[in-house]
Amino acid sequence: MKRRDFLLHASATVGMAMGLQNLGAYAQGGREVVFNGAGGIWQDNARNAWLSPFSQETGIGVIDTFPFDVGKLSTMVRTGTVQWDVTDIPGEFLGLAAERGLLEPIDYDIVDRHVLPSEDYGQYHVVYGHFSTNIVFNKQRLTGTERPENWSDYWDLQKFPGPRSFRRNPAVALEAGLLADGVASEKLYPLDVDRAFRKLDEIKTQVRWWTSAVQSVQLIADGEVNLGVTFNSRAIVARDQGVPLEVVWNQGLLAAVYLAVPKGAKNKEGAMRLINYIVQADAQARMANLNRSAPANLNAMAKIEPAILKDLPTAPENSHGAARIDELGFWAQNRAKIGKRFDSWLLI
């Protein structure tokens, strides 16, 4: 697939949020819930898997918007003009939002926490799914018999010469470096930051840094890098579109995706009911089947199509050696400091 064709296809999947123009009407209504999502094809899948079925089953209308913006959330809460009832919120902003009093506590009298593992809910958030960042390569670019199997291989410029890629973000890059240097996945945290940067120094001149998920796949698909790093779902979608990509599941780096309720949400009860609906097994399985994303509710796994289940990072055969990024612990406490060091390191 050529670069232009791939990008045009990716652009075509970006859906418009329905009901954005109806926020004023929402303010006058008593039954609607405003759901702020991630946009794009994800938003389309969320409507089909969660929002429309929820409305049909409960009679509660859902207006959906996107995307999340922490500055907008802060302004809405500060001025008492909160327009969202539920929002998708990246892990990098969740701790900050909670610390600054921008979120409502989750009402566990409504939301059934027992359908989730204990690490997937907290005072101000509920996890609705997981994704992983993985080593990915273009099978047409690796002409030898060797295939990368772990982060140590990713760092091996003799066995696998040529450019690599990473997201322009210290999270994942530092974890990958430590795994490549022999640290066990269960002993990553607290990260030995100095050791991780020393390891990154070894391949720095060969790294192409990306800032968007589309770019991450394109670098690999176009052969601009011989080995790449991208999100599992992005690689699988590209593969299904004909790009000859292969995902290395071993030592995948898992992260969670979160829902929260803004402080001062107009329909808190409706928000909690929607969150509770989203984390139930049937809704989780529908989203997994549409979005190729791993559910948080493990009871959903039995309801996912086998062809899709085999490409999820939490499937038993894919989770060997995986490590979960400590977004709400280590990174919440250290992101700003390490981020400044990382930005300076890139310039040296």
Provide the pLDDT for residue 145.
Answer: 83
Assigned architecture for domain 14-130+256-309: 3-Layer(aba) Sandwich (3.40)
- What average pLDDT does the chain have? 91
The identity of residue 80, as a single letter, is G
What are the extents of the domains in the chain?
14-130+256-309, 131-255+325-347
Residue 17 has pLDDT above 60, yes or no: no
**For residues 132 and 232, is the Cβ–Cβ distance under 8 A?**
yes
Mean pLDDT within 16-31: 43
Nearest to 124 by CA among 106, 107, 111, 109: 106
Residue 188: helix, strand or coil by DSSP?
A: coil
Is there a shared CATH topology between the 14-130+256-309 domain and the 131-255+325-347 domain? yes
Between these two residues, 145 and 262, which has the higher pLDDT value?
A: 262
Alpha-carbon span 13 to 41, nearest angstrom: 5
Alpha-carbon span 257 to 234, nearest angstrom: 15
Strand partners, 36: 65, 87
pLDDT above 70 covers a percentage of the chain that reads 91
Q: pLDDT tens for residues 43-82?
A: 999 999 999 999 999 999 999 999 999 999 999 999 999 9
Strand partners, 246: 137
Q: What CATH topology corresponds to 131-255+325-347?
A: D-Maltodextrin-Binding Protein; domain 2 (3.40.190)
Residue 85 has pLDDT above 80, yes or no: yes
Nearest to 103 by CA among 257, 258, 255, 256: 258
